[in-house]
Amino acid sequence: MGLESELSLPAHAALVEDLRALRRPGLANVRVLGLPALRAAAETCGLSTGPDDVPAGIEELLRQAVRRLGDQDALGRAAARTYGLVPGLRGATAFERRRAAAEVVGVSTETFRRRQEVQVVDQTAEAVLGLCRERVRRRNTPVSAASSPAGAGGTGGTGGTGEQRPPEPESHRGTTQRDDDAPPFTVETTVADAPTPFVLHVSPVDLLRDVDVIVSSENVYLEMSKTFWPTLSGTLRRACAVRDASGEIVDDVLVRELNAWVRRFGRPGLPVRPGTVAATSSGAMAEQGVRRIYHAAVAVPLAGRDGYEVAPANIARAVREAFALARAERAAFDPPLRSICFPLMGSGRGGVSVESSASWIGWAIHEELTRDPDWTVHLVVRNRVTARAITNLPDL
């Protein structure tokens, strides 16, 4: 890292000083506090561009830092409560926020003030510094011609909506075979113009592990793709099926349970409302740590001709319903459900661009996490072309 990059990073001690100064007055007073180190960090991370958006930039910076600490770890949860980043605490007094943080750790308020709070401030500063380093590293990494986007036609393999005939694999449009054959990888980033950070998987969906809920996009008749079709719906159906020793499918788990859901709600042969989400088990994918498959009905068949229509607003509705369903089911599992993964719904034969799908999904998730931040959110796409099209990471 060069001198120019080092100079763009705020000092750890300065970040600690600003975080201490912010703890008592809280986020509602960011505009009048100054906080030069946090302001510089927000600018470095691209979250603030001028005086008017400094408060929003610093708040988002802290949200990303807290998630970096780990939203399932006591330290990260205590940090979120210390700075009022959870519902009900934004306008709380410093004492109320400290008491909530102390309860997470399991100590008295006074003990937390003397011991754990020092660590919370220090580690939050480290997390902010880590975010800055990553942003500077990406900014200074040369982008080779081979890694520059070849177009935004890829959809990450999320075109499965119960088609009547096999579509051309969406993940191959605008891509090369070399790109699709690249090893899977995972990175935390923001998507499109939404401020919420995601765990982004560039990977076939059937290779995901240890994600509690995977969302699949379906048509409004909740008909899954055939197991041999190259869609997300077909891939999940194939991956979750139970097979015998010879490899033959003996239990088409997702279709069986989805059909039972349709019968239970009196919809055989009838469409459900766009945005409806139905839950099934994960079948064989339970061995990979996947516990639920949520089927989001977003694609409406076109009358009199082949194809589907997907309204972006129905994508957002499906995100909200998926979170509502996950919250309702969360306590029924041990440990409780904590993570959920979305595809780029509607970006296959639904005709929605990958950028538009990512933006609608991103903002819907941002609203949900504002109300209930105790979730880790994942996004899965099929290839690097799609990932470059929807993120600010041109060097993927």
Residues forming beta bridges with residue 300, ordered by sequence position: 309
Q: Looking at the structure, do residues 212 and 135 belong to the same domain, yes or no?
A: no
Provide the CATH number for the domain around residue 331: 3.40.220.10
Structurally, the chain folds into a number of domains equal to 2
Q: Looking at the structure, do residues 46 and 129 belong to the same domain, yes or no?
A: yes
Residue 74 lies in a domain: yes
* Last-in-domain residue among 121, 140, 159: 140
* Last-in-domain residue among 101, 116, 140: 140
Q: Looking at the structure, do residues 223 and 157 belong to the same domain, yes or no?
A: yes
Residue 330 lies in a domain: yes
Q: Looking at the structure, do residues 43 and 80 belong to the same domain, yes or no?
A: yes
Residue 360 lies in a domain: yes
**Matching residue, tokens 């809920």:** 213
CA dist., res. 293 & res. 322, Å (int): 10
Q: How many residues does the chain have?
A: 396
* Last-in-domain residue among 108, 140, 172: 140
Say what the pLDDT of residue 192 is: 58
**Residue 179 to residues 146, 149, 175, 275: CA-CA distances in angstroms?**
10, 11, 6, 32
Per-residue pLDDT tens, the chain, 396 aa: give them: 343 344 468 889 999 999 999 999 998 888 888 899 999 998 888 887 777 778 888 988 998 888 888 755 778 889 989 999 887 888 889 999 999 999 988 889 999 898 899 999 999 999 898 888 887 776 665 433 333 322 223 333 334 443 344 443 333 333 333 455 567 878 888 765 667 788 999 999 999 999 999 999 999 999 998 888 888 999 999 999 999 888 889 999 999 999 999 999 998 889 999 999 999 999 999 999 999 999 999 999 887 777 789 999 999 999 999 999 999 999 999 999 999 999 999 987 778 888 889 989 998 999 999 888 899 999 999 888 888 888 866 566
Look up the domain containing 23 and give its range.
3-140
Mode of pairing for the β-strands spanning 242-243 and 249-251? antiparallel
3-class SS of residue 217? strand
CA dist., res. 87 & res. 214, Å (int): 25
Do 386 and 154 meet the contact criterion of CB atoms below 8 Å apart? yes
Q: Which residues contact 112 (CB under 8 A, 6 or more apart)?
A: 78, 98, 101, 102, 105
Q: Looking at the structure, do residues 333 and 205 belong to the same domain, yes or no?
A: yes
Nearest in space to 297 (alpha carbons), one of 323, 324, 279: 279
Residue 49 corresponds to which tokens in the numbers above?
């561009």
Q: Looking at the structure, do residues 200 and 113 belong to the same domain, yes or no?
A: no
**Residues 130-141: pLDDT tens digits?**
888 887 776 665
Do 157 and 180 meet the contact criterion of CB atoms below 8 Å apart? no
Residue 314 lies in a domain: yes
Say what the pLDDT of residue 341 is: 96
Residue 396 lies in a domain: no
Q: Looking at the structure, do residues 284 and 177 belong to the same domain, yes or no?
A: yes
**Residue 341 to residues 184, 209, 214, 227, 325: CA-CA distances in angstroms?**
16, 11, 5, 21, 14
Residue 341 corresponds to which tokens in the numbers above?
């993964």
Q: Looking at the structure, do residues 11 and 60 belong to the same domain, yes or no?
A: yes
Nearest in space to 224 (alpha carbons), one of 236, 213, 212: 236
Residue 338 lies in a domain: yes
Q: Looking at the structure, do residues 133 and 183 belong to the same domain, yes or no?
A: no
3-class SS of residue 255? helix
Residue 305 lies in a domain: yes
Q: Looking at the structure, do residues 135 and 201 belong to the same domain, yes or no?
A: no
Q: Looking at the structure, do residues 32 and 178 belong to the same domain, yes or no?
A: no
**Residues 382-391: pLDDT tens digits?**
888 888 888 8
Q: Looking at the structure, do residues 232 and 92 belong to the same domain, yes or no?
A: no
Residue 395 lies in a domain: no
